[in-house]
Amino acid sequence: MPQADHVSVVHGSMMVDVPRKIFKGKECEIDPEQVVPFQRILQSRYPWITDNAVKVILRKAQMEMLRVRDEETNGREYSRTLAQKGKLDEAIQHLRIRLELNPDDSKTWYDLGELLFKKGDGNGGFDAFRKGDEALERSKAKKKRS
């Protein structure tokens, strides 16, 4: 499970916590300025870790960071990135998969509606907005009962 300021990855038999601040932007690009102190600390603790091993750890951490950000936003962040790249069908499919896992996420329903409208599917867009409204009402009703 990721900590608030780290993502954890396995390298060989080691578990390495990589600071989230190393990653920038929606695509979690690696910030070289942030890597230097991390690499220095890592190699001072584990002198046998090569520069190449650090690169492998960072690539694994980057993939984990993308997965964590996707999970934190229920797929919205990654689908926005896909849509910006002109991959509307993939973005829509990604949100639909995420909604299967969490059908009560009104924000994801609204994002799906916007993408469907962008693609020219007005009926699908209205349906997604309606499901988003329903999810929001269920959420409000749950909060009132609590």
CA dist., res. 4 & res. 56, Å (int): 22
pLDDT attached to residue 3? 53
Question: What domain count does the chain have?
Answer: 2
Contact residues for 98 (Cβ-Cβ < 8 A; gap 6+) = 70, 74, 75, 76, 79, 105, 108
Any domain includes 1: no
Percent of the chain with pLDDT over 90: 75
What are the pLDDT digits (tens) for 71-119? 888 888 889 889 999 999 999 999 999 999 899 999 999 999 999 999 9
The reported pTM is 0.69
pLDDT at 141 over 90: no
Q: In terms of domains, do 49 and 65 share one?
A: yes
Any domain includes 129: yes
126 versus 146: the higher-pLDDT residue is 126
Q: In terms of domains, do 42 and 66 share one?
A: yes
Q: In terms of domains, do 97 and 141 share one?
A: yes
What phi and psi values does residue 7 have, to the nearest 5 degrees? Answer: -120, 145
CA 24 to chain centre: 13
Within 10 angstroms of residue 139's Cβ, the number of other Cβ atoms is 13
Q: In terms of domains, do 66 and 10 share one?
A: yes
